[in-house]
Chain A
Amino acid sequence: MVIFAGARHALLVCFSLLPALVFAQTTPAEFAEMSLQELLTLSTEETPQTHKRWSWSLRYQQAQFEGYLDGSETLSLDEVLFVPGGEVRSAKNFPVVPTVIKQRATIFGINYQWRERWRVSLALPYVQQETAHISIVPGYQQFLLKTHGIGDITLATRFRLYADPDESLHANLGLSLPVGSIDEQGDTPRAPGEQQLPYTMQLGSGTWDFPIALSYRLTGAHDVRVDVAANIRTGQNDRHYRLGNRYSVKAKYQRPISDSVNVALGVELSHTDRIHGADESLLVATAFPYPAGITNPDMYGGRKALASVGFAWQYSADMNLSVEFAKPLYQHLNGPQPQERWRGAVMLSRTL
């Protein structure tokens, strides 16, 4: 549910999918750092990319959420929508119910291969979100809320811990800067005029976060990659909450089908914590303070397993296009919570 809330998850995925830079060692210092095992893996060929240290990428991704889960149990919209007279109000039904949530991010990334083992990156996301709702409030039976703007900017570094001809291990450490707005407002049934929107509709996390990851890659006859990642959030933002940490393991198998095209299959397991703290401006002063499930910090997070399929096309020595589509195989959510239906991404990258 909170994949794009704050855009860090998206950025972490973006970094993990950034294509390996075509980089060749050039300076004495870079060569001095290399072990014999590493030297044995290097090509003797002079390539046109020898001095290319910069690259950029542009990634567009979208996810859609529709329908409800409480744990792994499917709930209908009727079960989540509270209708006075017909049913008893509880902590798990609401007068306002989001029906379809669409989240999009366009992420511009720039990368610099600092040393042979080090790469630094900066990612700037532009986030667009929209949520369709139904409610029992007169005049708001159906309404749509939209937000858009710059999300949180991430600075990251990638360090090669180990490499030999068949395998490599990299560590990734990022810092997410709380640039994205957490003050987005819209016209909701809560009161007349503009009000603070729920967590899902905000563009940033409001906290300084640390996306970290370890990436193992086995090359050769079979190309397998395993990423163990976490997004660790710190402190509390100005609205007195902190989005939940996210932990994930992703395995991807890649196979060439031609000289320039690879296809990939992947599986990802993830766990996301609930939101800590609460934005009190989202509450209403009644026995049931949450007008919608997405205003309740406890109704965020859960466990997911996703399967993905994709391909990467090396259009030229400098340019790469990749496409990925993923669908949840299993979700166990702190609910009632809108369930993810699918996510997809297209990325173009180029070395400079």
Chain B
Amino acid sequence: MLTSRFCTHLRRSILVMAAGLLTLPAVAQQDQYDALSRLDKLKAAYVFNFTKFIDWPEFDRRSSRKIVVICLNKHNPLLLFLREMVQGQTIGKQQWAVEVLPYDVGTRCDLAYFGEQARPDPELLKEILVVSSDIRFHQNIATFSFYEEGKRLRFEVDLQQLQQLELEASSELLKLARIKR
């Protein structure tokens, strides 16, 4: 009798545990982005977060908006990482989608992220919010620029650039940023 009672408890418990453990492989996705540095991944996460704190105009120059487009150079290894990051995500009260596309002359970009190697033509970026991967580069075109401080990633914002783009950033974002003087 004792043995059968123990076995009943054990059977029930094993079933519950098995159900729990079976869910693990489904969520334990293989990381395909091992080659990317942690710093780059952090920058991608910041870029996605920036889109949430910008008051994007409801109508852009071409159509009524339902999507915010982030562009990266097609050779930038972060492109696929960022694309997967924004998949299924929405931003703002209007629940706009976010799309990641290769930066190209014909692409309608709202935000463009450039790595240190990129040398984009400033003339083509007059209506695009530019994020620079390093504060030492893209100084005349970048609205947001990353820098490191004590092994933490920080960002600087150029309010003048923001104003020229006629965009507004939320105070929540600005209070976390260093303001460019």
Residues of A within 8 A of B (CB): 24-29, 31-32, 34-37, 39-46, 50-51, 53, 112, 114-115, 120, 122, 153, 155, 175, 177-179, 181, 183, 204, 206, 238
Contact = CB atoms under 8 A, between A and B. Distances in A.
Contacts of A25: 41
Given A27-B31, A32-B86, A43 B151 contact: yes
Contacts of A178: 9, 13
A32 B151 contact: no
Contacts of A122: 17
Contacts of A40: 152-154, 176
A196 B91 CA distance: 62
Interface in B143-169: 148, 151-154
B59 interface: no
Contacts of B24: 112, 114, 120
A46 B152 contact: no
Interface in B1-25: 2, 5-6, 9-10, 12-13, 16-17, 20, 24
B84 interface: yes
A344 B29 CA distance: 39
B97 interface: no
Nearest to B10: A179
Contacts of A206: 9
B172 to A, nearest CB: 8
Contact of B17 (A28, A39, A44, A153): A153
B179 interface: no
B176 A51 contact: no
A314 B121 CA distance: 51
A26 B44 CA distance: 12
A183 B2 contact: yes
Of the listed residues B5, B38, B87, the one surrounded by the most CB atoms of chain A closer than 10 A to its CB is B38
A27 B29 contact: yes
Contacts of A42: 42, 152-153
Nearest to A149: B6
A135 to B, nearest CB: 26
Contacts of B176: 36-37, 40
A181 to B, nearest CB: 6
Interface in B77-117: 81-82, 84-87, 89
Q: Top 4 nearest A-B pairs by Cβ distance?
A: A177-B13, A28-B85, A31-B45, A28-B84
27 contacts: A28-B84, A28-B87, A29-B84, A29-B85, A31-B42, A32-B45, A32-B86, A34-B49, A36-B172, A39-B46, A39-B153, A40-B152, A44-B38, A44-B151, A44-B152, A51-B31, A114-B24, A114-B27, A120-B20, A122-B17, A177-B9, A177-B12, A177-B13, A179-B13, A181-B6, A183-B2, A183-B6
B45 A183 contact: no
Contact of A35 (B12, B42, B49, B82): B49
Contacts of A31: 41-42, 44-45, 48, 85
Contacts of B9: 177-179, 204, 206
Contacts of A28: 33, 44, 81-82, 84-85, 87
Nearest to B29: A27
B124 interface: no
B152 A43 contact: yes
Given A28-B81, A53-B28, A177-B13, 15 more contacts: A24-B38, A27-B31, A36-B172, A40-B154, A40-B176, A41-B152, A44-B38, A50-B38, A112-B28, A122-B17, A155-B20, A177-B12, A179-B10, A179-B13, A183-B6
B37 interface: yes
Contacts of A43: 151-152
Contacts of A51: 31, 34
